[in-house]
A and B are shown apart, each in its own frame.
Chain A
């Protein structure tokens, strides 16, 4: 067992809340069977949640702040589009391979990243995403959509199903699976090593931790998960293009989502991603204003609860429970 539990950070109220939300999200297609727009939006939210969690394990836990997560998202997405068009393999295999290629991309980035720290590292991830974007725009048009630089249309090869409800369940299942895996990892001794590196790299080395190895691992894991989200995204929209996969705004939005929800919590970024996608898609009547609303809210949250919504909620709930019972809760494991 690499899992180790910590009495003081366990919060049952949050667990109950998550369970209720989980049940609610499983029932959405039952209550809104005709609302395929809602389901599409929620599929998108699940994809963004996966991407935000992948950012969180690398940046929130291991402290390697990535400004170019679209690099991994794009690698996974393009791998998927190529493989499905060229070979027509099964979606599970293709999505997994998308993750593997993005994980290799993570290793590629990690090699130089080990020599860089702080803003230099972040800048490098950003430039890597830009470089991939420009590279893909050079793709020969024969394979892609005429007139669109570097775009690949992969319908019908990469179409999971015409049933939107079913696709929604796939995305929800994948999101929950990844959330569970990353949460377990973050709580394991490996997550603890990540956090040691984040808090003080030199002190982590003095504690005997091979920081280069753990950082490389964080890049590979984060790359894999981000690649899977990119792969699923291509299956969702049926095409891959630099503008849809490698837009730098994705890289920024994913940070906003993770920080709003709560960096270094894995679960918080899911909330952040849902908020982001729901505002973006449901406030369409506001036109361009919806982005302003989104980022203005983000600024307010950053100012008033810089640690993010989930940690704040957890703290408030615990304080409320403690004042209610009037005594310290037993800390048995």
Chain B
């Protein structure tokens, strides 16, 4: 196997190996290497424009890396088309929610359960609908659509069938993003600024869900431009700046790191947010 061995006992689920992406002369990401350990919640931090979303796009196959590799569960997935990456077990949410506007909330989630084979009975309609219902209830979409989740036993009676994304509040759209990602049954979940624009209570609720997902054995990578919201949630953070790795380690240590503080102060004057 080509996996790098680390000091920890649990092996990495995802390895970025000297990943580089250039757009013309601009190096959005250069020589970036880090591991995501199986079962952890990793914070992926950087000032605005540091290249966090580009890294997500490289992992999920939206962009093809200029150089370097992405290994998922030991397999080289660099250059795979996005649907293959998703079906291999990596799902992502978008920084700005991207619902399917003309479809109801439950159908938005159902789209993530569709098979790519034209003639297949698997997964069956019933299985897919059960998965949709599960994702809607556990992400709190039923409440968002105005229904007590205990009343939501079956997709046909679920309030998510009546609501369209444009009727959802901002927090609802964030939950829909998570539900869509979850419905692909990922082993690794990449969340792009999932807390942006949420109230303290909503952040707490979403954090609880994310911890639940970790307890189920899923691995999570959470992008944010500041560490404050992530401190209690993540065990480890990777900080990048101008497409290169700046620091890696426990959140407390990294926040004290003078190089990291410098990057934030120089970048956007938002240095106080890292503390």
Contacts and interface: CB of A to CB of B under 8 A. Distances in A.
B60 A207 contact: no
Interface in A187-215: 189-190, 192-193, 195-196, 198-200, 202-213
Interface stretch (B19-27, B99-107, B217-225, B244-252): B99-107
Interface stretch (B8-16, B108-116, B204-212): B108-116
A208 B103 contact: no
Contacts of A193: 111, 114
Contact of B116 (A198, A208, A264): A208
A199 B116 contact: no
Nearest to B154: A333
B98 A203 contact: yes
Query: Most A CB atoms within 10 A — which of B87, B110, B114, B183?
Result: B114
A6 B116 CA distance: 21
A203 B60 CA distance: 12
B103 A8 contact: no
Contact of B94 (A8, A189, A206, A264): A206
A202 B181 CA distance: 13
Main secondary structure of the interface of A (DSSP, over half): helix
A95 interface: no
Contacts of B183: 207
B201 interface: no
Given A7-B161, A208-B83, A196 B111 contact: yes
Residue among B112, B129, B183 with most chain A CB within 10 A: B112
Contacts of A213: 116, 118
B167 interface: no
A327 interface: no
Contacts, number: 98
A209 B107 contact: no
Given A7-B156, A208-B87, A1 B125 contact: yes
Given A7-B156, A331-B162, A209 B116 contact: yes
A185 B83 CA distance: 22
Interface in A158-210: 189-190, 192-193, 195-196, 198-200, 202-210
A202 B111 CA distance: 13
A115 interface: no
B166 to A, nearest CB: 12
Interface in B34-78: 60, 62
Contacts of B91: 206, 208
Nearest to A9: B104
A199 B166 CA distance: 13
B100 A208 contact: no
A213 B100 CA distance: 19
Interface string A1-37: 1101011100000000000000000000000000000
A190 B114 CA distance: 8
A223 to B, nearest CB: 16
Interface residues of B, number: 36
B81 interface: yes
Given A202-B98, A206-B92, A331-B162, A217 B83 contact: no
Interface string B109-133: 0111011101000000100110000
B267 interface: no
B139 interface: no
Contact of B104 (A8, A189, A211): A8
B116 A189 contact: no
Nearest to A333: B156
A13 B120 CA distance: 34
A301 B107 CA distance: 29
B180 interface: yes
Contacts of A2: 125
B265 to A, nearest CB: 34
Contact of A195 (B86, B87, B103, B129): B103
B268 to A, nearest CB: 27
Interface in A212-228: 212-213, 217
Contacts of A196: 100, 103, 111, 114
B110 A192 contact: yes
A212 B61 CA distance: 14
B82 interface: yes
Contact of A207 (B81, B112, B118): B112
B226 interface: no
Given A4-B125, A207-B184, A192 B87 contact: no
Contact of A202 (B62, B101, B110, B161): B62
A211 B83 CA distance: 8
B157 interface: yes
A192 B103 contact: yes
A208 B114 contact: yes
Contacts of B100: 195-196, 199-200, 203-204
B105 to A, nearest CB: 11
Contacts of A332: 156
A4 to B, nearest CB: 6
A233 B94 CA distance: 48
15 contacts: A1-B125, A4-B125, A7-B161, A190-B118, A199-B101, A200-B98, A202-B62, A202-B98, A203-B94, A205-B82, A205-B86, A206-B86, A207-B184, A217-B118, A264-B102
Q: Which 4 A-B pairs have the closest CB atoms?
A: A208-B86, A205-B82, A199-B100, A203-B98
